[in-house]
Amino acid sequence: MLPVQLIRKKRDGGALDEDELRWFIRSVTDGTIPDYQVAAMLMAIFFKGLDAQELATWADAMTRSGDVIDLSRIKRAKVDKHSTGGVGDKISIPLAPAVAACGVAVPMVSGRGLGHTGGTLDKLESIPGFRVDLPVEKFAELVDTLGVCLIGQTARIAPADKRLYALRDVTATVESLPLIASSIMSKKLAEGIDALVIDCKVGRGAFMKTIDRARELCALMRTIGMRAGKRVTCVLTDMEAPIGRTIGNALEIRESIEVLRGGGPTDTRELTHVLGAEMLVLGGAAKDEAEGRARIEKVLGDGSALEVFRKLVEAQGGDPRVCDSPGSVLPKPKHREELSLRTGRVTSIDSEMLGIAALLLGAGRRTKEDAIDPAAGLVIDAYLGELIEPGAAPQIMLHHSLTPEDGRVREARAMIEAAFVIESADKAPSVRSSRILEVIR
């Protein structure tokens, strides 16, 4: 086959057959197609899309471009969760051990943060010694013995996705929904799972800005999953404000441990309960969402989930004392600075702006090569609908290790102040009672 013929066919709106699609992905993986022709195909797909059959074949070819982990020896149902990314999104950390404590195995291959959103791997690595680069064989062993393991994408898992994603990032084709769906699902299907719950964020702080676009993405991911014989549930969740009260890696580990102890912020707990319940239903460990939620709440309240997390941390090389005394184990910033907002009612929070402010302080990375300060971030004591009264304690605490003269601190403070819309104290609060917008089963 000639790449140019396939590019022309897709450019003109034609459908590529199975042999053509599999050949193209094989050639992407082994590098025989040059970047400029791969980029041309990505742009053709951006404008012309992929039909349901093309999408399923494209995603399956990406999945099989590397190893598909064999977890068939594990008797428990194997269910994972994927989030499309949000500011303060630490849900995987309390969720995975909670679901495992309920008897469903969670083989989780997670990602790193880039831009204003944080990554589960970066959060876990703020625990001294914690390793996310385990070999696949060790990953399978821990999923079997503990019911859970959290690692990063290895060179053996969906290698075609790595090359395609790198090119999408520099060719303005990241926003293509078929390419987003196949990128997510190829990595998840390579984990050897039976089912998957997608947490699709919606709002200003999310990649999906509108609920209609989120529904469209979820439909594509469910199509891929169903054609691969996997059950997929999508939970659309509100991302108009940061999740929880912390942004930053070590800070979010502390909040996650609060949830594992049965506490933590209301929204962080709610997302853990709801997503966990859907995972238990898919895994056959609960007959419906209500029973699943009750089981998740129980293991978080009685210490069972925390005990699984303790074993997980130790098995992956981390210091298990973090479960009992996180403040004595997790890295500390050199500086803690207070910031007070003006008085009035908080009516809007730009979570993307807060995520960028945390990045400036060292909590995130602009490029994949940037180093992260695991102690950097924000603690937020001002939320949607809340009233800031005269003389109140400072609402934001900045954690960082930058020098006083570093302009990034000044820039971050300005962004934080601009992120909050504060109106008259008399204005009636308009706040959603739940982060859950819709569940698609």
Catalytic residues: 82, 161, 168, 183, 187
- Cα–Cα distance, 331 to 400 (Å, whole number): 11
> 223 vs 231, 353, 417, CA distance in Å?
10, 34, 42
Dihedral angle of Cα 129, 151, 249, 372, to the nearest 10 degrees = 80
- Cα–Cα distance, 381 to 46 (Å, whole number): 41
- Cα–Cα distance, 64 to 187 (Å, whole number): 10
